[in-house]
Amino acid sequence: MSEALWVTQEAYDRLKEELEHRSTTLRQEITRKIDNARQEGDLKENGGYHAARDEQSMNETRINQLTNILRDAVVGESPADDGIVEAGMVVTADIMGRVSKFLLGSRLAGSNDDLEVYSLDAPIGQALNGHKVGDTVSYFAPTGKEIKVKILEATPYKG
C-alpha cells in the first residue's frame, strides 16, 4: 500500500507531461538507437547497443516511477502559510537543543533540495501535526526516550 503524495496541480501536470514524453517520443528514439546498433553486428562488443539498452532501462524505470507517483498523487493547493504544522510544511524546530529543518509529509522524487522528510505517521510527525509556531511538543522515540520539540518556523514547501 502506497502513501498518498500531495502535489500541486502544476507539479502534477509537469509529471504527466514527462510521463507522456518518456512513454512515446523518448521510448521510440531509444528503440531506434537499439535497432541501429544491432545492425552494426556483434552485440557483445557493441558499446552503442549496450549504452542504448542502459538508456532504455533507465527510461522504463522512470516511467514506472512516474506512473506510481501520479497514481498515488493527491492534487491540491499548498498548505496555508499560517504557521500551523501540517503535511507540505517545511518545519524548523529545536529538537533537544539542536535546530533542524525538515519537510513534513512527502516530496516528489527528483526534488533537488537536501531536506530530510518525516512522514505524518512518524512519531515526530504525529507530535507536530496541527501545532503552531512557538508550541513545544514531545514524543517518544522507539527507545522509549521522551524527545521535546519546539516549533520555530513552519512554511509551505515550495519544491
pLDDT in tens, 70-107: 888 877 766 778 889 988 889 999 999 999 999 887 65
Domain boundaries, the chain: 5-75, 89-156
For 23-39, the pLDDT digits (tens) are 999 999 999 999 998 88
For 45-57, the pLDDT digits (tens) are 788 888 999 999 9
Say which residue the cell 515526530 belongs to. 124
Choose which CATH entry (3.40.190.10, 3.10.50.30, 3.40.50.2020, 1.10.3720.10) describes domain 89-156: 3.10.50.30
The Cα 139–Cα 148 span in angstroms is 7
Q: Taking every pair of C-alpha atoms in the chain, what is the biggest distance, in angstroms?
A: 69
User: Is residue 151 predicted with pLDDT exceeding 50?
Assistant: yes
Give the β-pairing of 89-95 and 98-104: antiparallel
Three cell numbers written together for 90: 517545511
Query: Strand runs (DSSP E) across 51-131, as ranges?
Result: 73-75, 89-95, 98-104, 116-118
One fold for both 5-75 and 89-156?
Answer: no
Query: Using an 8 Å Cβ cutoff, are 131 and 137 in contact?
Result: yes
Q: What is the pLDDT of residue 110?
A: 45
Q: What is the pLDDT of residue 2?
A: 47
CATH fold of the domain at 5-75: Helix Hairpins (1.10.287)
- Judged by average pLDDT, the poorest of 53-67, 84-98, 112-126 is 112-126
